[in-house]
Every structure is written in structure tokens, then in C-alpha cells.
Amino acid sequence: MSINRVNISGNLTRDPEMRATQSGTQILTFGVAVNDRRRNPQTGEWEDYPNYIDCVVFGNRAEPLSRFLTKGTKVAVEGKLRWSQWERDGQKRSKIEVIVDEVEFLSSRQQGGGYQPQGGSQMQPQRQPQMSAPTYAAPQPQYAPQPSVQQTPPPADVYDEDIPF
């Protein structure tokens, strides 16, 4: 048995690109930058190293999602990995990409109107009977906001490589 699931969060590296197959299936592609944090062996300082992940959304969700994603948007993506290979100019090429099942917005949209999540919320289209196009709205909290609690960071001598798993 094998499991093919992936969860990543990061910022979009470019505006999404929308296209369609000859049969009419919508395809949305975008890239997500995911940082890996490592200690620099020369300086001993922690540094971020970016990884660039290609993501693909198929079907009816592609077009509505394309209206809310722009370069720099912070998202969490859940899906599965797919490996592709092809040949171009006599050279074999390959890549791994994420086939997206779920997208969660982690930052608000900067342009007027649209989707404004609070604390991260999944995009769910909501159709209203009199409207011809879907509208997207973040769920409204059903509770009174609680005062924020200041948490103290862990001691500075605890590092990722000290954790036994």
C-alpha cells in the first residue's frame, strides 16, 4: 500500500494561468513557493531556502478559483503528487506537480470586493437564486472575539534537529 497526499503552504510565485482541453475541461496552473529552513554551516545562522512547486486544478473549480488567486497570495494547498515525463529536442524531461484537491486562503485579497478570509477559511462558492454569477464570502464568526493571549516563544536553545522525530 502507498499513500500519495501532500500539504503545502506558501505564496503564489506568479499569476495563475487558465486554459482548457479540446473537450472543454478547465485547467488552472500556478506555482507556490515553499521555504525550507536550514542552518548555514559557515555562519551557524538559520536561512530560508525556497522550493518552487507547480500546482494544477482541473474541472469546474478552476475558473472561479482563478479570480481569487494572484501573485503573492498566501495559500495552503492539499492534493496528490503526479510525475510527468516527455521529450523535447531529443532530451528527456520530467517534473512533479501537485494535483490540487483543496485550496485554503491564508491572506486576504488586496483588490476591492471579493474574498476576505479571517483566520484562514476554505473557498466555498455560494449561489444566490437571483444572481447569475456565484459570489464568494467568508463565513461570519458566531462568537464574540476573545482578547489575544501573548504566548512566550520556546527557549532559544531548542532547534529542529534536537527533536527526535
Q: Is residue 79 part of a domain?
A: yes
Q: Domain count of the chain?
A: 1
Q: Is residue 56 part of a domain?
A: yes
Q: Is residue 1 part of a domain?
A: no
Nearest to 8 by CA among 84, 103, 94: 103
Q: Is residue 52 part of a domain?
A: yes
- Domain, as residue range, for 22: 6-36+46-138
- Copy the grid coordinates of residue 81: 503528487
* Residue % of the chain over a pLDDT of 70: 65
- Least confident interval from 15-24, 43-52, 130-139, 148-157: 130-139
- Chain centroid to Cα 30, Å, comes to 9
Per-residue pLDDT at 94 exceeds 80: yes
What pLDDT was estimated at residue 158? 52
Q: For 64, left (φ over 0), alpha (ψ -120 to 50), or beta?
A: alpha
pLDDT tens digits along 124-156: 443 333 444 444 444 555 555 555 555 555 555
Q: Is residue 114 part of a domain?
A: yes
What pLDDT was estimated at residue 7? 96
Give the residue-averaged pLDDT of 105-124: 51
| CATH number for the domain that contains residue 12 | 2.40.50.140
**16 or 152, greater pLDDT:** 16
